[in-house]
Structure 1
Amino acid sequence: MSMIQLSANGLVVVFGSGCAWSDEHSWSPVGQTVERSLTGALIVQSASAPAEAGRPVTLQGVEQGAGLVSLTDVQTLRGWAAEPGQVMTLTTPDGVREVIWRHHDAPAITADPYTFYDDQQAGDMYVVTAKLMVI
């Protein structure tokens, strides 16, 4: 697995080994509506989206214990998610894209401790799912 990272405001969050863009190949740039006219005729309209705008990006570990991030990084991600319209730079092995959070597909971010401790420390590791979209 290759490195995936998000950056904004001079900060960088690197997702641990085993993090993947889980819906990378389940998107199509073609949009389509299908309706029936008053006479029953089928009306199909199709169009292609400009570049990748609106393409979903879901980052998550692909297996148990994969793609972990520290509590410090979780706090950074949550801070970015709390800023409406926060633009971040997503770097993956195949390129760099500008992304924002998918708040309309809530929750935009989830983070669960990999191992639960009563006294959380900055270096404790978390399993994160981040829902983003290309702008």
Structure 2
Amino acid sequence: MNFIYLDDIELPEDLAWTDEHLPWAVGQTVKPSLTGAQIIQEAALQAGRPITLQSTVNGNTYVAVVTRTTLLALRAKAAIAGGDNMVLSVPQFEGDPLTYTVRWNHANNAAIEASPFKFIVPPSPDDLYAITLRFIEV
């Protein structure tokens, strides 16, 4: 079985990369000029590709859930303001995994979202959570 790795944290291989095919390589701004004409500026982006990994639902079952222990390790990494770059390693169908240098994407949403598969009090380290992880490639 292959896994996705964020540095040394092992994640399920079947996390869905929801924005893998989202166009991101061209930045664009559109503003009206004083005459009312549109000014369009475009440039090739050197970095900043969003990478969102997410648990999915198949019927009544979550796919690619993580334990509370893994979730807490991810949250600890995300809680470091100005934290170091991380290596995200994603398996591919054949050959070596693809690797990306990433940081947590705190800009638009929470970098990590999690919901328990089953709500239990008190929580156990082995409780399962559906997650969404948001990164930005640097």
What is the TM-score of this pair, normalised by structure 2? 0.83
Deviation at 1:60, TM superposition (A): 0.4
2:110 to 101, 107, 111: 107
Distance 1:54 1:24, change over 3 A: same
Question: Is 1:83 aligned to 2:86, yes or no?
Answer: no
Residue 22 of structure 2 aligns with an amino acid whose one-letter code is S
Deviation at 1:98, TM superposition (A): 1.1
1:35 to 31, 42, 45: 31
2:132 to 102, 116, 129: 129
C-alpha distance in 1 between matches for 2:91 and 2:49: 17
CA root-mean-square deviation: 1.9
Residue equivalent to 1:98: 101
Contact 2:3 2:10 in 1 (8 A): yes
2:56 to 56, 59, 62: 62
Residue 45 of structure 1 aligns with an amino acid whose one-letter code is Q
Residue 40 of structure 1 aligns with an amino acid whose one-letter code is G
Cα deviation code 1:38-65 (max 9, x no counterpart): 2233322111011xx1111111013241
Unmatched 5+ stretches in structure 2: 93-97
Residue equivalent to 1:49: 45
Cα deviation code 1:81-123 (max 9, x no counterpart): 1101222211112510111111112211112111222132212
Deviation at 1:37, TM superposition (A): 2.0
C-alpha distance in 2 between matches for 1:96 and 1:110: 23
C-alpha distance in 2 between matches for 1:113 and 1:104: 24
C-alpha distance in 2 between matches for 1:43 and 1:120: 54
What is the TM-score of this pair, normalised by structure 1? 0.85
Aligned residues: 129
C-alpha distance in 2 between matches for 1:20 and 1:132: 13
Residue 3 of structure 1 aligns with an amino acid whose one-letter code is F
C-alpha distance in 1 between matches for 2:29 and 2:53: 29
